[in-house]
């Protein structure tokens, strides 16, 4: 009896000694949990709800000319194009890009490949100039959940790119590109934002959009847009505000807003949708429309030292159904941005989360049904789409039911 | 030492150990982890180019075979066996366009919302250059009396002859007279001064449709009919 007591007490003592050590270990290796989702204008926990609401208001604010809007631009506010079904989501609005292909290289339209559709003065309205036969529309992208996307380790994207040729019999080969992080002095990181993966950080993305979509310069993008190459900035008589028109604060707020958004939620998941997801995986769609990622652990320093992944964004499982890589699926728009000439006919795999909120599909919004959008995939996706063609009508409809649940 | 003293001693030692361990084990901050520079995988080799055999004109049996591969019996080749080969979508892989008739018994399959082909009407495609807003178009519906153009996009160097080449458009209002291939560069040379001359991704199918000369071209998403003014007609005839 005494011996039993002795053993029990010894174990108790050992447990007391080891407990703090074990507890410390479990804090360090936080478990992976699902990222919060919702079309509800609520914070994902990165900021307080009050801060989120304030940031949302700035994101959705309509800018005026005396605040720097224009003189050439596409929209007076982020919320004009990122709005469905809540601020930060998608919209049917497209932007126009143009340029010239000389047989070897793509050459930007005078003033840049983005041809703005609005101007503060009719005299400087941009037009597509003769000789710029490459013309493309691109739909507005979703930004909800982009904080989690930013927190994906670039090495995970590169690993998917390296793996794809092996799991697709050499048919599929996503391109991983490194692009400048503007707030890190142009140091490179794996691109993941924009139709051409032209940005790797949400601050860079915000600065780019503030200038290129709204015509508002900032310390990260200090040079004003032109009108077909003609200078229309401060001093030209068309722009009353000197550069930089924003001191950088708005850029940070936009990034803070996007980082605090929840990921797009699933819709109603029927038995057909579940069956469709199995088919989606089985025929190879998931090779590029990657079902899930786990974000970097909290405390990871990303964006070349400019951002540390916070607890609200780290170690989260997200389900974007996209690999954030560039592919040639026969729909490429002929435009080159940050990825070099080889990316001319490549576009980023669009993450399919929230795709049920769209009724104009593909990068140009030209496909009005899921079946047509699927059939438009060619190039690298040919063998996958041929698998789809081989399905029965019932199974095709199950895949479409799955897509409509995303 | 009796049992009670042993228990007391062990208990005391436990408390002391707990105090020491709490003092020594600091709450651990996650060690700073920095995302390392990712290495892009090597570039895949460039795709092989079509050989002369791949670019050779289509033989009727090859055309019938390609049609059957995709449409089975849903359409039949025009009795005159009219087909045109070229690179209509500009992906360096040979494509073929064939004049076909729908099979009466297959009308439901042809017009199915999950058919294996994309239905189109090139005369109804609208491109609004400035706004990018495309008015919704009514779904194209094939009638049993229609004469259709089936365009099969090639994949890889063998193009439309490759058994994997299955992407196809089935077009109504796309078959006129004097249909022939026109290389993109030739079309551009003749018509490029027209203000509405479109971006050509690849070769075009030139023809006279509804009394007007013009061509069918690939927009990147659909096939569209483009016609030009009388001046351009005269100039092209002169050339």
CA atoms within 13 A on the CB side of A243: 18
What is the percent of chain B with per-residue pLDDT over 90, rounded to a whole number? 57
Asked if B31's CB is within 8 angstroms of A299's CB, the reply is yes
A185: left (phi over 0), alpha (psi -120 to 50) or beta: left
- Structural domain contains residue A172: yes
Q: CA A161 → CA A174, A179, A324, B92, distances in Å?
A: 5, 16, 10, 24
- pLDDT at residue A9, rounded to an integer: 41
Task: Please check whether residue A189 lies inside any domain of the structure.
Answer: yes
Partners of A263 in beta bridges: A37
Please determine, for residue B233, whether its predicted confidence score (pLDDT) is greater than 60: no
Closest CA in chain A for residue B119: A372
B78 vs B76: CA distance, rounded Å:
6
Phi, psi for residue A266 in degrees, rounded to 5: -70, 150
Q: Please answer yes or no on whether B18 and A17 come within 8 Å at the CB atom.
A: yes
Long-range contact list for A157-162, CB < 8 A, 24+ apart? A157/A190, A157/A192, A157/A323, A157/A324, A157/A325, A157/B38, A158/A190, A158/B38, A158/B39, A158/B40, A158/B41, A160/A290, A160/A323, A160/A325, A161/A323, A161/A325, A161/B40, A161/B41, A162/B41
Nearest CA in chain B to A30: B30
Residue A277 tokens, joined: 């997801």
What local confidence, expressed as pLDDT, does residue A16 receive? 37
Question: How high does pLDDT run on average in chain B?
Answer: 84
Distances (CA, A) of B132 to A42, A95, A137: 32, 7, 6
Q: By CB neighbour count within 10 A (0-12 exposed, 13-18 middle, 19+ buried), where does A174 fall?
A: buried
Cβ of A378 within 8 Å of Cβ of B114? The answer is no
Phi, psi of B174 (to 5 degrees): -130, 0
> Would A251 be classed as within a structural domain?
yes
Best CA proximity match to A137, nearest among B133, B60, B40, B183: B133
pLDDT digits (tens, 9 = 90+) for A34-55: 999 999 999 999 999 999 999 9
Question: What pLDDT was estimated at residue B128?
Answer: 63
> What pLDDT is stored for residue B190 in this prediction?
86
CB-nearest partner of B17 from A13, A177, A396: A13
Q: Which of B31, B36, B164 sits opposite A383 (nearest CB)?
A: B164
Name the residue among A162, A369, A386 with its Cβ closest to that of B113.
Answer: A369
**Furthest CA-CA distance within chain A:** 99
Chain A CA closest to residue B134: A366
- Which two structure tokens, joined as six digits, stand for A95? 């932007």
- Quick check: helix, strand or coil at residue A329? coil
What is residue A381's predicted lDDT score, i.e. its pLDDT?
97
Answer whether residue A38 is part of any domain.
Answer: yes
What pLDDT, on the 0 to 100 scale, is given for residue B37? 86
* 3-class secondary-structure state, position A361: strand
Q: What is the pLDDT of residues B93-125, one digit of tens each?
A: 999 999 999 999 999 999 999 999 999 999 998
Answer yes or no: are the C-beta atoms of A405 and A268 closer than 8 Å.
Answer: yes
Which tokens belong to A141? 């992208």
Which residue out of B3, B162, B167, B185 would a mutagenesis test of the A interface target, given it has the greatest number of A Cβ atoms within 10 Å?
Answer: B167
Q: B176 and B123 in contact (C-beta within 8 Å)?
A: no
A99 touches A129 (CB < 8 A): no
Pairwise CA distance, residues B212 & A82, whole Å:
43
Tokens 């048919």 locate to: A171
Reported pTM: 0.88
Domain hosting A82: range is 34-403
- Residues B131-147: what's their mean pLDDT? 78
Q: Per residue of chain A (406 residues), what is the pLDDT tens digit?
A: 445 454 444 444 444 334 333 333 333 457 999 999 999 999 999 999 999 999 999 999 999 999 999 999 999 999 999 999 999 999 999 999 999 999 899 999 999 999 999 999 999 999 999 889 898 999 999 999 999 999 999 999 999 999 999 999 999 999 999 999 999 999 999 999 999 999 999 999 999 999 999 999 999 999 999 999 999 999 999 999 999 999 999 999 999 999 999 999 999 999 999 999 999 999 999 999 999 999 999 999 999 999 999 999 999 999 999 999 999 999 989 999 999 999 999 999 999 999 999 999 999 999 999 999 999 999 999 999 999 999 999 999 999 999 999 9
The complex scores an ipTM of 0.86
Contact (CB<8Å) B27/A27: yes
pLDDT recorded at residue A144: 98
Please answer yes or no on whether A10 and B10 come within 8 Å at the CB atom: yes
Between CA B84 and CA B61 the distance in angstroms is: 14
What's the number of domains chain A is made of? 1
| A319 within domain boundaries | yes
| Contact criterion met (CB below 8 Å) for A398 and A275 | yes
User: CA A264 to CA A239: how far, in whole Å?
Assistant: 38
Interchain proximity A161–B115, CB inside 8 Å: no
Note the pLDDT of residue B19. Answer: 55
Candidates B28, B31, B38: best to mutate against A (most CBs of A within 10 A) is B38
- For residue B10, what pLDDT is reported? 65
Residue among B28, B39, B44 whose CB faces A173 most closely: B44
Pairwise CB contact (< 8 Å): A383 & B39: no
Closest CB to B221: pick one of A9, A12, A376. Answer: A376
Parallel, antiparallel or unpaired: strands A316-318 and A33-34: parallel
Asked if B116 and A378 come within 8 Å (Cβ–Cβ), the reply is no
Confidence of residue B28 (pLDDT cuts 50, 70, 90): low
Structure confidence by residue, pLDDT tens digits, B48-65: 889 988 898 899 999 999
Instruction: Indicate the DSSP class of residue A188.
Output: E
pLDDT of residue B228: 76
Taking residue A115's Cβ as centre, other Cβ atoms within 10 Å add up to: 25
């Amino acid at each position: 009896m005494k011996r039993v007591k002795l053993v029990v007490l010894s174990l108790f003592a050992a447990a007391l000694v080891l407990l703090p050590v074990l507890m410390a270990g479990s804090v360090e290796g936080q478990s992976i949990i699902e990222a919060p989702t919702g079309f509800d204008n609520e914070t994902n926990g990165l900021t307080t709800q009050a801060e989120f609401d304030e940031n949302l208001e700035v994101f959705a604010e309509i800018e005026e000319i005396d605040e720097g809007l224009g003189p050439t631009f596409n929209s007076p506010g982020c919320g004009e194009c990122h709005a469905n079904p809540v601020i930060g989501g998608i919209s049917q609005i497209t932007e126009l890009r143009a340029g010239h292909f000389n047989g070897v290289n793509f050459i930007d339209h005078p003033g840049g490949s983005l041809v703005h559709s609005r101007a503060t003065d009719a005299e400087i309205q941009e037009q597509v100039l003769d000789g710029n036969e490459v013309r493309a529309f691109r739909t507005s992208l979703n930004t909800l959940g982009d904080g989690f996307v930013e927190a994906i380790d670039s090495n995970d994207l590169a690993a998917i790119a390296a793996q794809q040729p092996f799991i697709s019999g050499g048919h599929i080969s996503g391109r991983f590109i490194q692009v400048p992080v503007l707030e890190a002095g142009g140091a490179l990181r794996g691109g993941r934002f924009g139709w051409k993966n032209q940005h790797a950080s949400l601050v860079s993305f915000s600065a780019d959009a503030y200038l290129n979509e709204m015509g508002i310069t900032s310390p990260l993008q200090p040079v004003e847009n032109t009108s077909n190459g003609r200078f229309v900035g401060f001093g030209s008589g068309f722009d009353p505000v000197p550069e930089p028109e924003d001191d950088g604060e708005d850029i940070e707020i936009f990034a803070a807003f996007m980082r605090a958004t929840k990921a797009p939620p699933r819709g109603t998941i029927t038995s057909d949708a579940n069956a469709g997801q199995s088919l989606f995986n089985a025929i190879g769609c998931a090779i590029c429309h990657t079902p899930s990622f786990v974000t970097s652990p909290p405390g990871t320093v990303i964006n070349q030292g400019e951002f540390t992944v916070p607890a609200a964004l780290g170690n989260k499982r997200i389900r974007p159904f996209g690999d954030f890589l560039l592919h040639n699926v026969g729909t490429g728009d002929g435009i080159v941005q940050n990825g070099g000439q080889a990316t001319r006919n490549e576009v980023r795999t669009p993450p399919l989360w929230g795709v049920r909120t769209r009724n104009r599909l593909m990068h140009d919004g030209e496909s009005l049904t899921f079946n047509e959008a699927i059939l438009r995939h060619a190039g690298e996706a040919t063998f996958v789409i041929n698998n789809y063609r081989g399905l029965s009508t019932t199974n095709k409809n199950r895949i479409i039911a799955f897509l409509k649940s995303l | 030492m009796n049992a009670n003293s042993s228990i007391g001693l062990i208990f005391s030692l436990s408390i002391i150990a707990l105090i020491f361990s709490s003092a020594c084990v600091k709450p651990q901050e996650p060690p700073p982890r920095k995302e390392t520079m990712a290495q892009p995988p090597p570039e895949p080799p460039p795709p092989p180019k079509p050989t002369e055999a791949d670019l050779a004109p289509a033989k009727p049996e090859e055309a019938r075979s390609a049609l059957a591969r995709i449409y089975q019996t849903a359409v039949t080749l025009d009795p005159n066996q009219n087909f045109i080969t070229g690179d209509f979508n500009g992906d360096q892989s040979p494509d073929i366009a064939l004049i076909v008739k729908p099979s009466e018994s297959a009308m439901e399959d042809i017009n199915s919302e999950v058919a294996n082909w994309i239905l189109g009407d090139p005369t109804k495609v609208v491109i609004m250059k400035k706004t990018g807003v495309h008015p919704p178009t009514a779904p194209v519906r094939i009638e049993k009396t229609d004469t259709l153009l089936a365009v099969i996009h090639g994949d890889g160097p063998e193009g439309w002859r490759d058994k994997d080449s299955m992407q196809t458009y089935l077009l109504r209002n796309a078959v006129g007279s004097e249909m022939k291939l026109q290389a993109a560069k030739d079309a551009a040379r003749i018509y490029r001064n027209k203000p509405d001359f479109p971006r050509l991704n690849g070769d075009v199918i030139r023809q006279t449709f509804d009394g007007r000369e013009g061509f069918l071209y690939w927009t990147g998403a659909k096939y569209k009919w483009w016609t030009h003014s009388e001046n351009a007609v005269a100039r092209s005839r002169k050339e």
